[in-house]
Structure 1
Amino acid sequence: MAQQQMTQQQMTQQQTADEFLIWLKGQIPLINHMGFGDLVYDGQSLQMPASLAPNVNDKGTGFGGSLSTVATLCGWALVTLYLREQGRDCDVMIRDSQINYLAPITDDFYAEVALPDAAELKTFMSYLDNKGRGRLNLEIEVKQGDQVAMTLKGAYVAVEKKM
């Protein structure tokens, strides 16, 4: 029974991710040209795949600006999806970030991020409840296969929308 419930939950989360990507493409037209594949979301982590072809530079490798865009967007999307699941309507933005390029991307790639531990999430939600804004620090990895090609450490801020 638990296995069946888990499967239903996974299906619901994947449907949420599919609908989110459709919404996102309507909100940010640029990403319609970046070769995004289907998001993989499990309620705790998110993978955002992209094709190399529309993100290639003059050397035939992944363009740094595209990689940072995919990573930034992946973190933003995870925070937004998490807040929506909590019933929160917030504006989410990246406050600051640090990027490290570790290896060239020579094929299709993906960004991957996971929510922080429960204590950090509790603090984040407490700040939202008490101050109307909160911050989450995330580390996003851009990978080709299992190789990490870039990391982005970013502070994402969520602000409750005013009614």
Structure 2
Amino acid sequence: MAASRQAGVPYPRLALTEGPDDLAAFQQWLSEAIPMVGALGITRMDRQGDTLTWQLALAPSLNDKGTGFGGALTAQATLLGWCWVTLWLRAQGRAQDVVVADASQRFHAPVTSDYHMMCSPQDSQGPIKLADRLHERGRGRITLDQKLYCGNTLCLEATGSYVVLPEA
């Protein structure tokens, strides 16, 4: 349970499954492993091909102006990328730690309603290159792009570089 989490104590990994992950079970584990996830307003996760999409409610991320708070939106984009890599690793049968190495974002328009975020590799060959690097060195890096839309309006573009650490 999230309330019993302590600093410096890793949360147990979600057991690997055969076949595709149950995204609802992954989201439940995520909210326990990272307590702030429950406050991010994620209402649904979907995956199609190399794209992971979240549906999000705006209410938990409102700022004083009644629009999306940039810090919350940035945190969501960073976490979405982390989830992309974690789920990709799980699909490869790998249980390795992922960290964000760097991230940037550009805001284009205010977020004024519930929204969705999409995450996919910046380079279509990124997953293949990551798989090769993991096979050769046991660690690797991939760059992912995240986009946030309110309806059809692009409000935020973000990019993150995620590192897969060697197995412990």
TM-score range, shorter chain: 0.7 to 0.9
| Alpha-carbon distance in structure 2 between the residues aligned to 1:54 and 1:31 | 11
Shift of 1:117: 5.2
Opposite residue 52 of structure 1, the aligned amino acid is L
Q: Does 1:87 align with 2:93?
A: yes
| Alpha-carbon distance in structure 1 between the residues aligned to 2:155 and 2:31 | 25
Matching residue of 1:119? 125
Shift of 1:34: 1.8
Q: Deviations over 1:82-131 (max 9, x none)?
A: 11000011111110011101100001112101235553222211111222
Identity of aligned residues (%): 35
Match of 1:158 among 148, 161, 164: 164
Matching residue of 2:137? 131
Q: Does 1:148 align with 2:154?
A: yes
SS at match of 1:82: helix
| Number of aligned positions between the proteins | 150
| Alpha-carbon distance in structure 1 between the residues aligned to 2:38 and 2:62 | 15
Q: Does 1:16 align with 2:1?
A: no
Match of 2:83 among 77, 89, 95: 77
Question: More helix per residue: 1 or 2?
Answer: 1
Q: Tell whether the 8 Å contact from 1:92 to 1:157 is kept in structure 2 after alignment.
A: yes
Bigger drift between 123-132 and 83-92 goes to 123-132
* 5+ long unaligned stretches in structure 1: 1-11
- TM, length-normalised to structure 2: 0.83
Q: Tell whether the 8 Å contact from 2:122 to 2:145 is kept in structure 1 after alignment.
A: no
* 5+ long unaligned stretches in structure 2: 1-18
Opposite residue 62 of structure 1, the aligned amino acid is G
Matching residue of 1:47? 53
Matching residue of 2:11? none
